[in-house]
Amino acid sequence: MPWTPNLSVGVDLIDNQHKMCFEKAEKLFEAGKNNSAKEYISELLDFLEDYTKKHFADEEKYMLSINYPGYAEQKKAHTGFIAQLAKLRTDYNVSGGNLLVILNANKMVLDWLTQHISYMDKKIGQYAASRK
């Protein structure tokens, strides 16, 4: 599932980071099609752990800089995603990377990228635009 312009938040910093995450997710889906997802999932989890820390910190800093009223809700969603990611990592390590864990990783990343960006992150861009 590629990033498309309709997923744009309208804030370059945030959009560029989202695009990077979509590229990694696309590689995971491709790896699944090529039966190499088990090998790639560890790399994706490493990326997501690093990416989410930086991206969420950048996004939260931006929200604070514009006095975004939905900051607390976003922060809570970010914390929840980090917790889901930690659980996925534990499940992956315990299971040795079974298919269910790989499918859960696919679903979690896809849901986050589409739902969170479409419903929560877009509001940041709308708020920022309304202040101009």
pLDDT attached to residue 75: 95
Apex CA 53: angle with CA 22 and CA 36, to 5°?
45
pLDDT attached to residue 38: 66
Reference 41, options 99, 117, 82; nearest CA is 99
The predicted model scores a pTM of 0.81
Apex CA 91: angle with CA 89 and CA 94, to 5°?
110
pLDDT attached to residue 36: 66
Q: Judge whether 110 and 25 are in contact, CB under 8 Å.
A: yes
Q: What is the largest CA-CA distance in the chain?
A: 51
Domains belonging to the chain, first-starting first, are 5-130 (1.20.120.50)
The structure tokens listed for 24 are 């990694």
**Running along the chain, 132 residues long, what does each successive block of 10 average in pLDDT?**
84 90 77 68 80 91 96 95 88 78 76 85 92 80
The structure tokens listed for 76 are 């809570």
pLDDT attached to residue 102: 72
DSSP 8-state symbol, 121 = I
